[in-house]
A and B are shown apart, each in its own frame.
Chain A
Amino acid sequence: MAHRVAVVGVGQTVRYRTKINASLAGLVREAALEALADAECTWSDIDALILGKAPDMFEGVVMPEIYLAEALGGVGKPVLRVHTAGSVGGSTAIVAATHVASGLFKRVLTVTFEKQSESNAHWALSPSLPFRAHFNSGAGGMFAPILREYIHRNRCPADVGCMVALKDRKHALRNPRAHLQIKDISLQMVKDSPMLWEPIRFLETCPSSDGACALVLCSEDLAERSVRPPAWVHGMAMRSEPGFYPWREEVYPHATRECAKDLYQQAGIQNPRKDFDVAEVYVPFSWFEPLWLENLGFADRGQGWKLTETGATSLDQGGDIPWNCSGGVLSSNPIGASGMIRFAEAALQVRGMAGAHQVDGARKALGHAYGAHNQFFAMWVVAADKP
């Protein structure tokens, strides 16, 4: 039986943005030091180091755990580096939590990061393969057809995506760490922004950010003694499927539904909309919100967009199930860290430490990450109470 795991430290880059003026070591240490301080411990209290990030071509450093060993107190410790594409921030948190759940490690530090301004991110995201015509349309070009299918099947009004963008960008104004802070953001501004890959407009798109996120995870006995409230892990799940196969269901992928099912079973979630107080969900392009609302069981098939329309997912509008109060991926996207930021923000919410974007009385939260062609999923449930 798995040992209980809790989050007792969270650290993030002070402000996600491009061309952060720090070395790679400096970038990750900033987040790690904050997490250690939050957990009231030092490097020598950490039993293992788990790193995660997306392709090394973003920074031009092959297998960076080797170079970062000293910077993150890894000398003399087991060090692992996870890479599961966009979901990596989430899967890294899960691998780290598994270290503690195994009973073999009492306190671990996990750090995810990306410094994609170091290289050409667009190039790194568009590997050239010999058997495909090379359109180099980037991540947006890859996802836009899936989002179009969602809209086509469910006959949604065209502006739901813009409403998501407005909501998340307004949320970002409450989070001083968020990369994009657009003070005078309005629905019209989103609608007027240039179309990039139909149906996705510029302001419905995530930025390319540098940043790092860190967590300190520990065993039950250590969590009970922690100074600040821990966030208890009630469940964690990962699922993958091939990105391309005949007649693959891309809008409602098997892997995401199975992952959620496994997770909800572990955590005793029966009605996500009611059981969760808040969720941090990986939405890099606006229309992913209604899509995930349905896939994650917050709304019935075909009804996700309506939930968004009612303002149910908006903290500013007093919605009953706020999503991405931190501003989400739409506001900050250091790819390797983004998944962990979702998991971290979920933890901050149930610890009551989310500052101006706190949902009052939040006690149970979902953290979600996905990667590549809607094919890799990592999710966890954290709560203020022990499981």
Chain B
Amino acid sequence: MDIDLEPVAVFEAPIYLRYHATSARAITPFLHALRRGILLGHRSPATGKVLFPPLGSCPESGQPTSEEVVLADTGTIISFTTVHLAIPGSKLKPPFTVANIMLDGADQFFSHLVSGCALEDVAIGMRVRAKWRPASEWGYSLENIEYFVPTGEPTVDIPTLKAERLRLAQERRHA
């Protein structure tokens, strides 16, 4: 039998695996608080620093955390980037700015969008406030905050802020 066979160079073998994950001990209250428009952090018993989001563990010490701290929805930009690349499957249209934001009262930054100003005006040390979506749209997600907007306050010097926060944490530990 003489058959002209094309070499098989590619074949598709899709992998579909379904996972369900239950929320963790620390995450559950955090997500419930978000649904009520509240930003919750944890203070580490070992370091006195405030972690956000609260994952239930202090990465510096490996100790569990549970002491809740309600945080303001204002903060300071630690650093940021403006993304020009369209992300497949994302609703966000580039360019958009993602910033590492240190909420007031927290010692661990988190990432979120910054908008409401010219992108080139975003700066390290800029003061920002959350712009929340309408409360009727709130779910168990940090996306209840649509983005952060500049407050117009003067730019903060990050090393000074860091030193102040570390000093406060030290005091808390010895209190």
A and B: partners?
yes
A residues whose Cβ falls under 8 Å from a Cβ of B? 21, 60, 122, 130-133, 135-138, 140-141, 144-146, 148-149, 152, 194-200, 242, 244-247
CB within 8 Å for A148 and B81 given contacts A131-B30, A246-B51 = yes
20 residue pairs of the A-B complex, CB under 8 angstroms, read A60-B15, A122-B88, A130-B21, A130-B27, A130-B140, A132-B111, A133-B113, A133-B141, A135-B87, A137-B87, A145-B79, A145-B98, A148-B124, A195-B84, A197-B81, A197-B83, A200-B81, A246-B51, A246-B165, A246-B169
In the complex, are the beta carbons of B60 and A242 less than 8 A apart?
yes
Chain B residues within 8 Å of A140, by CB = 85
- Known A-B contacts: A133-B141, A144-B81. Give 15 more (CB < 8 A): A130-B21, A130-B23, A130-B27, A131-B53, A136-B87, A136-B90, A137-B87, A138-B87, A145-B79, A145-B100, A198-B81, A198-B82, A242-B59, A246-B44, A247-B49
- B9 interface hit (Cβ, 8 Å): yes
Closest to B143 in A: A133
Bound-state CA distance A10–B165 (Å) is: 50
Cα–Cα distance between A278 and B30 once the two chains are bound (Å): 50
Tell whether B31 is near chain A: CB-to-CB under 8 Å.
yes
Secondary structure of the A contact surface, majority rule: loop
* Contacting pair A152 B124 (CB below 8 A): yes
Is the C-beta of B80 less than 8 angstroms from some C-beta in chain A?
yes
Count: A-B pairs, CB below 8 Å: 106
- Which listed residue (B9, B98, B141) contacts A135, Cβ 8 A? B98
Which of B67-88 touch A at CB < 8 Å? 78-85, 87-88
Check if A194 sits within 8 Å of B84, measured CB to CB: yes
Which 6 pairs, one residue from A and one from B, show the smallest C-beta to C-beta distance? A144-B81, A246-B107, A145-B79, A242-B59, A246-B49, A245-B59
* Pair B79/A146 contact, Cβ less than 8 Å: yes
Contacts of A149 in B (CB 8 A): 78-79, 124
A247 touches B166 (CB 8 A): yes
Size bin of chain B's contact surface? 35 or more
Q: Which residues on the A side are within 8 Å of B3 (C-beta)?
A: none
Contact B84 A131 (CB under 8 A): no
Q: Which of B44, B59, B162 has the most CB of A within 10 A?
A: B59
Residues of chain B within 8 A of A136, CB atoms compared = 87, 89-90
On chain A, the residues within 8 Å of B141 by CB distance are 133
Given contacts A132-B142, A135-B90, A246-B60, contact A141 B81 (CB under 8 A): yes
Interface pair B112/A145, CB less than 8 Å apart: no
Known: A145-B100, A149-B124, A247-B162. A131 touches B107 (CB 8 A): no
B132 at the interface (CB under 8 A from A): no
Chain B stretch 31-55: residues in CB contact (< 8 A) with chain A: 31, 44, 47, 49-51, 53, 55
| Complex contacts, A194 vs chain B, CB 8 Å | 84
The residue in chain A whose Cβ has the minimal distance to the Cβ of B120 is: A198
A133 near B112 with CB under 8 A, answer yes
Q: Is the pair A245, B83 in contact by a Cβ cutoff of 8 Å?
A: no
Contact A197 B79 (CB under 8 A): no
